[in-house]
Amino acid sequence: MSEGTPLHQANLVLKKSKLSTMSDTEGFYTFKNINPGEYEIVASYSGLKTETQKIIITDTTAVIIDFYLKENNTLDEVVVTGTLKAVNRMESPVPVEVYKPAFFKKNPTANVFEALQNVNGVRPQLNCNVCNTGDIHINGLEGPYTLVLIDGMPIVSGLSTVYGLSGIPNSLLERIEIVKGPASSLYGSEAVGGLINIITKNPKNAAVFSADAFTTDWGEMNIDLGFKGNVSKTASVLTGINYFNYSNPIDNNNDNFTDVTLQDRTSVFQKWNFNRKSNKLFSMAGRFFYEDRWGGELQWEKKYRGGSDVYGESIYTKRWELLGAYELPFTEKMLFSFSYTDHDQNSVYGNTPYLAKQRIGFGQLTWDKKIASHDMLFGTALRYQYYNDNTPATTQEDINWIPSLFVQDEITLAEKHKLLLGARYDYNRNHGSIFTPRLAYKWKINDNNIVRFNTGTGFRIVNLFTEEHAALTGSRDVIVLEELKPERSYNANLNYLKKIYTKNGNFIGLETSAWYTHFTNSIIPDYDTNPNQIIYKNLDGYAITKGISTNIDMVFQNGLKVIVGATLMDVSKTEDGIKTRQMLTEKFTGTWAISYRINKLFLDIDYTGNLYGPMRLPTLGELDPRKDYSPTWSIQNIQFTFNKFKNIEIYAGIKNLLNWTPNKGNPFIIARANDPFDKNVEYDTNGNVQATPDNPYALTFDPGYVYGPNQGIRSFFGLRYTLK
């Protein structure tokens, strides 16, 4: 068994007897007619840790030996992120963190965005109390600095960084690879803070059918379905369907606004793998995504959409995605990858409409070539960007073609030393030539100790209205003081990995990273100069993010598994010689996942959580009674999974055990929730808000004071079925 599922075709060897066998579809195996004596049985299965048990045969009495194989914790997984080629994780000069579906099942969520909350150094950040838009922070950097890939293709960018992170069916997830720090020399703009690569399953290795459904006592419902089929001998196809619905308005903080955005979401994903005589790769995948979400005053209905009678934020999102990979029919290893996305967003924020369309096409050709001690990769890419919206910032549709060239050389200096040199050249018609080099060095001290050093540069071209939700709500005036130049960064990262195996079969893995990133031309929203404005300009100075993080992974033979992570960081900007801490960045974070299996009861217990230090918050002036800094806060969850029945898992638990929400200790979260259109706000001759008996704190409507989810404690119940 593994993770409660019988293993079909596991290999079993009875040492000393030279006998071997394989398990059947229900996981059973048998050795017959064994002479009396002491033996060892070895059980192995691809991707799982090999187990050995001793057995003594004294007579003809049947002896039953069960194996519960665990994930292979030697950290030897094959990864593709970081070098654009499949390499053993231990051999990669770029540190890559790998998370399997089993990790995310410890705290089931309805989307990838929420699932990442238990990854050390990665924080899903909510940006609006009303529509619950969000992005993903890596090491304290804002969401637009994070590039999200699907199967190595830049599918999630621009508009979809806000709304496209939902609806990726969990049934199709093979693993998630995370690289922290700039990866611009291989992946281009947006990979300044790091990248998240969502790897989907190969249809050949997927289950014939899988289903995962859960519901919460808040009325949320999530369904994930996966199907696999074969089209004669030509191809195998995998289909995933995700449906999520939440349509139960709840207002526990009594401000007459929905605590959580109501959502109705459908996503369909299909992936084809074609069988070629040469065994070379040819795969294609597509996804359709539709979502209708709204948040606002409890009495809001669709008839009020876009009007000034009842406040609501309503967003219709429709997306098409296509991606593929084709290995060229040459003796040389050449791969052509491509993707195309079409994003159509129809949204209103109160009485402010935001209608936007974005199309992104991407094609990339790579040539993987080994010459003596050099492992080379040559590549060229072409990116097509189309963007148009109804804001004054876009007077005409913006069309841009960005050609790129990149090369990297991984040099084996000696048996234990590798050096990676890389460079990328991009041409953008608005900003000219952009060059981003990088260097990586790996010292494999021995099989259990590895040191990695990475350094390089990054660049990012800002798409203001596609990335900054706060610029759209209409609660503050948007002031752009100058033509925004691309941001540039210089980064260094030192990583140390250590593996410890104890004599009794326990495993401990430790990984520590220290980083330093220096930004020039940084674009940081200024909420402080004028509480009624968001001011955007290139920073006349510099910004710095630096810190250290540690992950500890422990697996014990008694069924206990512990994953603990901690990060300390300092994210600041310096302008006119004055250093200030950046908004909405914490100084420390912690994550944990503690799992214990009780084999006799067929029960798994998972206790997961995170801890965040105080972060500076965007208040509206000196009279605003809301706290300038958040408290130290934590979200903790517990889950029980029963897996006695074949192919079935039943799970239940409680999310947010501490019942923490951001309104605790604050008189309110949304400013002027009773007057969302500012009809009763009075201004002086300079345009500043006046304090009045009706408005004693001199506030305007503002839903942007948010740093964590408004959803309190809730129970959940779910069922998984897998047909191998």
pLDDT band for position 72 (50/70/90)?
low
pLDDT-wise least confident of 44-48, 441-445, 489-493, 702-706:
44-48
pLDDT for residue 336: 96
pLDDT at 469: 53
Q: How far apart are CA 217 and CA 247, in angstroms?
A: 12
CATH 3.10.180.10 correct for 1-69: no
pLDDT of residue 620: 87
User: Kindly report the CA angle at 510 between 504 and 512, in degrees rounded to 5?
Assistant: 170
Q: What is the mean pLDDT of residues 36-60?
A: 84
Kindly state the DSSP code that residue 689 receives in the 8-state scheme. Answer: B
* Confidence grade of residue 166 (pLDDT, cut at 50, 70, 90): low
In the chain, what are the domain boundaries? 1-69, 200-723
Record the tokens describing residue 409, joined without a space.
């050389």
State percent of the chain over pLDDT 90: 51
C-alpha dihedral, 285 to 723 to 602 to 172, nearest 10°: 0
Q: How far apart are CA 211 and CA 719, in angstroms?
A: 8
Span of 121-125, 165-169, 607-611 with lowest mean pLDDT: 165-169
| pLDDT tens, position by position, 378-392 | 999 999 989 888 877
DSSP 244-257: EEE-----TT-SSB
Contact predicate 455/492, CB 8 Å: yes
pLDDT (mean) for 686-709 = 89
Check residue 118 and report its DSSP letter.
G
Residue 337: pLDDT over 80: yes
- The tokens of 139 are what? 């090491």
Please tell me the predicted confidence (pLDDT) of residue 161.
58
Which has the minimum average pLDDT: 69-83, 409-423, 466-480, 492-506?
466-480
pLDDT at 656: 96
CB 146 within 8 Å of CB 137: yes
Q: Which residue has the higher pLDDT, 657 or 186?
A: 657
Query: How many CB atoms within 10 Å of residue 370?
Result: 10
What 3-state DSSP class applies to 20? Answer: strand
210 against 91, higher pLDDT: 210
Residue with more model confidence, 558 or 560: 560
Tokens representing residue 62 in the block: 């049947």
Rounded mean pLDDT, 516-527:
81
Pick the range with the lowest mean pLDDT from 187-191, 326-330, 468-472.
468-472
Residue 662 has pLDDT above 80, yes or no: yes
User: Phi then psi for 169, rounded to 5 degrees?
Assistant: -60, 130
Predicted confidence (pLDDT) per residue in 393-413, tens digit: 677 888 889 999 999 999 999
> What per-residue confidence (pLDDT) applies to 60?
79
What are the backbone dihedrals phi and psi of residue 351, each rounded to the nearest 5 degrees, phi first?
-105, 15
Write the DSSP string, 32-63. Answer: -SPPSEEEEEEEE-TTB--EEEEEEE-SS---
Q: What is the average per-residue pLDDT within 623-646?
A: 94
CATH class in words for 200-723: mainly beta
Can you tell me the distance from the alpha carbon of 394 to that of 226, in angstroms, rounded to the nearest whole number? 41
Q: Where does the pLDDT of residue 522 fall: very low under 50, low under 70, confident under 90, or very high at 90 and above? A: confident
Query: Residue 185: in which H helix or E strand, if any?
Result: helix 184-187
Rounded CA gap, 514 and 141, in Å? Answer: 15
Give the confidence band of 264 by pLDDT, cuts at 50, 70, 90: very high
* Average pLDDT across the chain, whole number: 88
Confidence at residue 485, expressed as pLDDT on a 0 to 100 scale: 79
Q: Express as a percent the part of the chain with pLDDT over 70.
A: 93
Please state the rounded mean pLDDT for residues 283-287: 93
In the prediction, which pLDDT does 531 show? 66
- pLDDT for the residue numbered 691: 93
Lowest mean pLDDT among 328-337, 431-440, 548-557: 431-440
Q: Is the pLDDT of residue 444 over 70?
A: yes
pLDDT of residue 521: 83
